Chains A and B, each alone.
Chain A
Amino acid sequence: MMGAESWQAFHTLKRSRLQKKMLLYKKSFKTLYDPVVFLYAAVMAVVLLLISYDWMKDFTPLFHEWEDRASTYLPFLPMALWVRACIAGFRDSALPFSSSELHLSLLPHSRREILFYLYMEKAGKSLFLSALVLTAAGMLTPLSLSFTFLFFFIYGCSLLFEVWIQWRLYSTPWYIKLLLVSMGGTVLTSVYTAGFLPWMIIGGAAWVTAAATASLYFYEPSWGKIAERNDAKVWNLWLVNQVTNVAVRPPKRFTAAARKMRDSWFYPKRMYDRIWLSHGKESYNYLVSTIVAGVLIIVVVPLQVDWMRFLTVPLAVFIFIEVASGIFHNFFKQPTVFRYIPVEDEALALVYVKWVKCCLLIYACAVLVIQMMLGFPFFSSCIQALAVSLWVGYDLKEKVLEEMKKVNEESFYPASWTRLAGYVFTTAVMIHPVSAALIPAFSFTRGRFSLWMRKKRTL
């Protein structure tokens, strides 16, 4: 009876959380996204799926070759997953035990039961997702159904232990995790080198015993810290902060950098560095996903149709600049002290630009890589990557300074035409590196253009 009540309370909590999250997402999506764009994207995805289904038939021999090779590695999969769980245990608890679950455990519900429900939920979701992905892979690709079923069976069984071990090891000292990772790595490498599979059973059993013993003896969960870390994950911190201003503390990332900076707090620019690093960790997921999406756009699409790079590079750059300036603007929407105290606006903005420019290196590398993969000479590819980076760096700075003016409610002329010219320039550079010669001409025009604008503003 008591168990049923706990399950009911847990279920109520989860359902309410889902409802509230849906409400928040709806609100955010209404303000941020256009439903028409979503509809087009969905139609496009279906079309792409159909095209890829047809296209993949050409690769049947290749898939069968992969299947044969993957089958020889399948016995290693459980152990590899468990070692992965050990590595993941350094930063993620696997079970989303948040403040609400902690509060629930203060009512007449046992924490053990709540953890069991969380485990069932997590394992169930992961199994369902992997079943979905593998079924799709089995249907869309020339992979055989028997292989996908076998893969799902081994993966599913290993997953049940993987979730448990990650949860237990998350609350054990770091050196235990490190030891288990090294042990697991050694077992995997030795068995692979020896090529004698029965050793896998012996080595795996020894490793599982060691991991289970370690997680029993060294398991000391700090519930408050676990809840604090999971709050950000469960609630999708950025979105909730934007819509409701609920103060959920972000996970502690960049702690080493923050510690290093703490000693030099009295330099204003160092302080700005710290502020942006701290804001960066809150927007970490968005920055990373934008960069990954940008790199994929730059690299993957032109591999299919090479001329697409004339469009994909400006598109990736545009998305990056929009997201980066959006993150900058969001900082001032939060109830921080910067809303009320006078700061050196330009210095603050330029420090942000400095940090974001670091991410541009990845884009430059992506441009370089795709050009080289398409068989262009290294030297011309370097010129192209450099020219694109110069333009993006410049545009990013301008855009961020414009955002700063928006925040300060100053009047200004948005440099829309200059931006458009910049994107045309990016396309031109991608078509032929000689277009990079436009940079000096552009700088000269820009200088005169700025003078003209300044005069106009004083009228």
Chain B
Amino acid sequence: MVLRVEGCSVEIGGAQILHDVSLEAGRGEILALVGHNGAGKSTLMKTMIGMRDKQSGSIAIHQENIDDHLKGYKRMFSYIPEEPLLFSELTTLQHFDLYKQSYSIDRETFASRIERYMDAFEITDKKDEYPEALSKGMRQKVQTICALLPVVPVLFIDEPFMGLDVYAGKFLEEELNRKKEEGMTIVLTTHQLEKVKTLADTYVMLKNGSVSSYGPVEFFEMLERRKDQ
């Protein structure tokens, strides 16, 4: 297993948000976190990336535990948040450069990826713009490219298609499938159930902060059909 979450519990302001959540994801697997608003998807995502402290449990990527060596753990994944987290002081190109430095991406790989992604997301003419000069969709595209640049075992995505136009959304979907073929593990949260069915291999359904069901995505479809009947 690439990603392993065991007995994870999170409390925010005295309220228990996650209770004893466990999940696993293997190499080349797309895992979808689903559930209603407030079910705890984003909290689980933030806990997995180390943005939020957990009360108990363990989280590890390739045996690298979040509690033992956070910096090493952080090198194992990249993250696309729901709201872009861009640096006010950096232009689009400088953002990519910062990610290159942070994840030690070699120059050739970086150059070829940048060209490809900037072309695909249609932001070539925005390369010298600061975040405040970009629209929300453009900012989301910059953030998405930043997260797609590093070669890491796991990619976490919170609402991947939020704010992206149809073409960018389609490209991202293709790219995620390509990354999956290359062996990357992808964990995403989404409200778009159609995307879950077409993109994901497995799902974890959260309800009131606990795992209510999980398994291959076919089970999720059966669950949906049963609900309809």
Residue ranges of A at the interface with B (Cβ–Cβ < 8 Å): 2, 5, 8-9, 12-13, 16-17, 19-20, 99-100, 103-104, 106-110, 235, 244-246, 248
Contacts and interface: CB of A to CB of B under 8 A. Distances in A.
Contacts of B89: 13, 16-17, 19-20, 100
B88 A99 contact: yes
A13 to B, nearest CB: 6
B88 to A, nearest CB: 6
A262 to B, nearest CB: 22
B76 to A, nearest CB: 9
Contact of A13 (B50, B75, B87, B99): B87
Which of B70, B89, B132 has the most A CB atoms < 10 Å from its CB?
B89
Contact of B99 (A8, A107, A245, A246): A107
Contacts of B103: 107-108
Nearest to A14: B89
30 contacts: A2-B71, A8-B101, A12-B97, A12-B98, A12-B101, A13-B89, A16-B91, A17-B88, A20-B88, A20-B89, A20-B130, A103-B85, A103-B86, A103-B87, A106-B51, A106-B79, A106-B85, A107-B98, A107-B103, A108-B75, A108-B102, A108-B103, A109-B71, A109-B74, A110-B70, A110-B71, A244-B130, A244-B132, A245-B132, A248-B88
Contact of A12 (B51, B71, B88, B94): B94
A2 B75 CA distance: 10
B49 interface: yes
Interface of B: 49-51, 70-71, 74-75, 79, 85-91, 94, 97-99, 101-104, 130, 132
A5 B101 CA distance: 6
Nearest to A18: B89
Contacts of A100: 87-89
Given A12-B94, A106-B79, A107-B103, 14 more contacts: A2-B71, A9-B98, A12-B97, A13-B89, A13-B98, A20-B88, A100-B88, A106-B74, A106-B85, A107-B74, A107-B102, A110-B70, A110-B71, A235-B88
Contacts of B130: 20, 244
A2 B72 CA distance: 9
A404 B91 CA distance: 37
Nearest to B50: A106
Contacts of B71: 2, 108-110
Contact of B74 (A8, A108, A244, A245): A108
A108 B91 CA distance: 20
Contacts of A109: 71, 74, 102
